[in-house]
Chain A
Amino acid sequence: MAHAATHDHHDHHGAPQSFIQRWLLSTNHKDIGTLYLIFSLTMFFIGGAFAMVIRAELFKPGMQLVQPYFFNEMTTMHALVMIFGAIMPAFVGLANWMVPLMVGAPDMALPRMNNLSFWILPFAFIMLLSTLFMPGGGPAGGWTMYPPLSLQGESVAYVIFAIHLMGISSIMGAINIIATILNMRAPGMDLLKMPVFVWSWLITAFLLIAVMPVLAGAVTMLLTDKYFGTNFFNAAGGGDPVLYQHIFWFFGHPEVYIMILPAFGIISEIIPTFSRKPIFGYRAMVFAIASIAFLSFIVWAHHMFAVGLPMGAEMFFMYATMLIAVPTGVKVFNWVSTMWGGSMTFETPMLFSIAFVILFTIGGFSGLMLALAPADFQYHDTYFVVAHFHYVLVTGAAFSIMAAAYYWLPKWSGNMYSETWGKIHFWSSVISVNVLFFPQHFLGLAGMPRRIPDYNVAFANFNMISSIGGFWFGASQLIFLGVIIHCVYFAKKKAADRSWEGAKGLEWTVPSPAPHHTFDVPPVIHDDELAHGHTDH
């Protein structure tokens, strides 16, 4: 790997030398993937800073730091930035980097559109974040933007335009991923030989294309209600505020699976690698992802059990929601069975993956409890819900992204990261995240509503514990940043092409770091090299 041992500016094919040409005008899937990942990490820290403001204000009863309205801006912005800025771009970045490498394609199918879909994002987020500095402030009606409250804000137009841009970016990204997967696989890479990560993204991309226009429609109606005198959601004009919630959650529920299905894919790559055993029930895994995606379209009103739906509707959405536990259970059981009988080692990506399985499952358990509509009359809009979705989004989605970063960093950078510091990052994160979010279950059950800046003394102790966990978890992520910078620029230990002993798949057949262009000629597929080459069952 002599040629791979140099800095990636000097790959054998040669990336453009000029900074502008290389990064601003890039059409290369790896460079655009890197851009997405850097952007996502930046947003992760910005959104994290908002969370620190929230946890600092909630450290003890009484208002010490910020006005209630600013607190609401923080909860709203934290969610928008983390969902649309951190989690989703991180998965798109991983897809950009890895999907062509995993299916033996030379690049994404639509490279110029790829450039556009990334470069829209910084503008969308600059616009969104700029509202915080405007008179009237940023959005403060929650990320769900329920009218009539959200229409009281002064920043509605900015936020909606930013969301439109993010939606356009996501749709273009999704089209690109589908086109790549369906058209650019190397000969012999049958659909049912694809890595689970590629499968998960193929299905996620269809979800994105299906629901992002729905969100665009919902927020456009908000816009016309605010500025053009329409009455879609205005009761006084014959409209219906609940209609917005139906439309929003028809987008919103598939959206939460958009943020977790690629995570399933990542975990399904990493656990077999470090168990040195093929994934258990490959077809069942793919089928489970597809059925979760299908079910995600018929469960939206479980976010609305307290709006006073007719009893029949509550029953339907409750049963449909409970049904999701079946394919999700299959996935968890299959991951455990993959480990069973394996030969396991516990490098950082594996540690994050195991934590994912346990903690995501805890989030799934609270999800099952929330699905029980009568119990949800209590849980709804409390810290129990906050705990639930942070278990699935932080210890679920975000942990899977961290696992992926550690897993593929050697391939991206050509260097091995520091295993010691990776493990310190892991242990610090996994302990603090539970200190942060587990007590929130208790707070919610005891009666603390979400999105409040101040609370009764009864909630004081667990809030203080949660805040301490929050600061600790936030600080732990600086270790992550340090490990990445060290790995890319300073690490001495070079990565082998097959960076992990048990790793299978086409991405490990190219040099580390992956040269600027790979698979100019389609690779010859040897089933033995694939993680799922033998689909004899």
Chain B
Amino acid sequence: MTSGVIRRSVTAWAAVAFATFGTAAWGNPEPNQLNMTKGVSEWSPYALHMVGLWVCVAIGILVFGAMFIAMFRFRKSRGAVAEKWTHSTKLEIVWTVVPVIILIVLARLATGGLTSFADTTGSEMTIKVTGYQWKWRYDYVDYKGKAVEQVGFVSRLEESSDRTRQLKSNLDPEKIKVDGYNTYLLDVDKPLVVPIHTKIRFVIVGGDVIHSWWVPALGWKMDAIPGIANAAWTNIKEPGVYRGQCAELCGQDHGFMPIVVKAVPKAEFEQWLATQQEEAKAAKAQQTAQTAPAPANQG
């Protein structure tokens, strides 16, 4: 590594440290990121993850600590003589019961996370997500109890990433940036636009093979399976652009079907939705006008 790279790394580490312990909203992968994102949604597994992590760290320190003390104290080269004992009922009960208690605590926390995740009731909006080889389709089904007409589009890897990712393209992935953030393989031609402070229900299906819709900032992934409609929900608290990727191997371009969710304030979203509906209507009218003279050719 050159000194420039090292300096950049140090800066990036500092940024991550700030992002981890500071209050800045932060949902997308950062260089040298060590930990899971807290996410930007009402539901987040971050706390459970941290509890699990620290439990493991604590047990690890105890067990490995005991091991290293044993390795140091009971060496033959230090004149240690082997003892004869081979069991201790008291100890064995302790190290069976204590883990059980820890597990019960963890299970209780995790159960809470599962029940709240499974509860998609009370959602104010429904979006249907369909995975295809190798793109996503988004259809807006309803918003605030009203059906949304004809707002749906395909979202695929944007063009500069697509050119750069070709074998031996000799193009530099470092150069693909949006607002200073590197978006190589994490940007699409048309993002999914959603309102903040709105409980959104996703209905997720697969169009050909199994895909998985994953935006780390929302805290979960859900498989998109042919023939099955899976449900999940989010309620985004902060406006921003949140990036993710397909998480289930789906063929040669599995690595090249990113997801971008653009969360905007409600008013802005409603305006956007109205424009989309207008455009859809106009497009349809135009289509009808064009195709009307020709005889219907539907067998």
Contact = CB atoms under 8 A, between A and B. Distances in A.
B53 interface: yes
A149 B223 contact: no
A138 to B, nearest CB: 13
A530 to B, nearest CB: 13
B231 interface: yes
Contacts, number: 313
Nearest to B173: A61
B76 to A, nearest CB: 5
A336 B63 CA distance: 8
A275 B74 contact: yes
B165 A380 contact: no
B34 interface: yes
B222 A306 contact: yes
B25 to A, nearest CB: 15
Given A67-B252, A339-B70, A358-B64, A307 B225 contact: yes
A199 B118 CA distance: 43
B48 interface: yes
Contact of A462 (B28, B32, B85, B248): B32
B221 A306 contact: yes
B120 to A, nearest CB: 11
Contacts of A469: none
A344 B29 contact: no
Contacts of A326: 96, 99-100, 103
Interface in B225-253: 225-228, 230-231, 244-253
Interface string B155-198: 00000000011111101111000000011111000000000000
B247 A369 contact: no
B147 interface: no
B37 interface: yes
B17 interface: no
Given A329-B99, A343-B74, A456-B182, A374 B225 contact: no
A314 interface: yes
A323 B103 contact: yes
Interface residues of A, number: 97
Given A345-B77, A368-B56, A235 B228 contact: yes
Contacts of B33: 442, 445-447, 458
Interface in A141-174: 141-142, 146, 148-149, 152
A369 B53 contact: yes
B60 A456 contact: no
Contacts of B280: none
Nearest to A464: B1
B227 A452 contact: no
B255 A454 contact: yes
B154 interface: no
A199 B59 CA distance: 28
Interface string B72-99: 0011110011111111100110011001
Interface string B53-74: 1011001100110110011001
A279 B165 contact: no
A340 interface: yes
A142 B249 contact: yes
Given A336-B70, A449-B214, A235 B255 contact: no
A377 B36 contact: no
B114 interface: yes
A382 B247 contact: yes
Interface in B199-226: 204, 206, 208-210, 212, 214, 216, 219-223, 225-226
B11 interface: no
Contacts of A342: 70, 74, 80, 82-83
B275 interface: no
A350 B36 CA distance: 36
A236 B71 CA distance: 61
B286 interface: no
Interface string A419-443: 0000000000000000000000010
B76 A306 contact: no
B78 to A, nearest CB: 9
Interface string A107-130: 000000000000000000000000
Nearest to B164: A62
Contacts of A361: 60, 63-64
A140 interface: yes
Contacts of A377: 45, 117, 219-222
Given A280-B86, A456-B182, A375 B246 contact: no
User: Which 3 pairs between the two chains have the least Cβ-Cβ distance?
Assistant: A235-B227, A374-B113, A452-B255
Given A241-B225, A369-B49, A369-B56, 19 more contacts: A63-B166, A148-B226, A242-B228, A276-B82, A278-B86, A281-B87, A330-B95, A343-B76, A344-B75, A365-B60, A368-B52, A372-B110, A375-B48, A378-B219, A451-B249, A454-B165, A457-B182, A458-B29, A537-B86
30 contacts: A62-B165, A68-B256, A72-B254, A241-B227, A281-B87, A306-B222, A315-B114, A318-B110, A322-B103, A326-B100, A336-B67, A339-B70, A342-B70, A344-B71, A366-B56, A368-B55, A369-B56, A375-B52, A378-B49, A378-B220, A380-B247, A381-B212, A446-B36, A447-B245, A449-B247, A454-B256, A455-B185, A456-B183, A457-B184, A537-B87
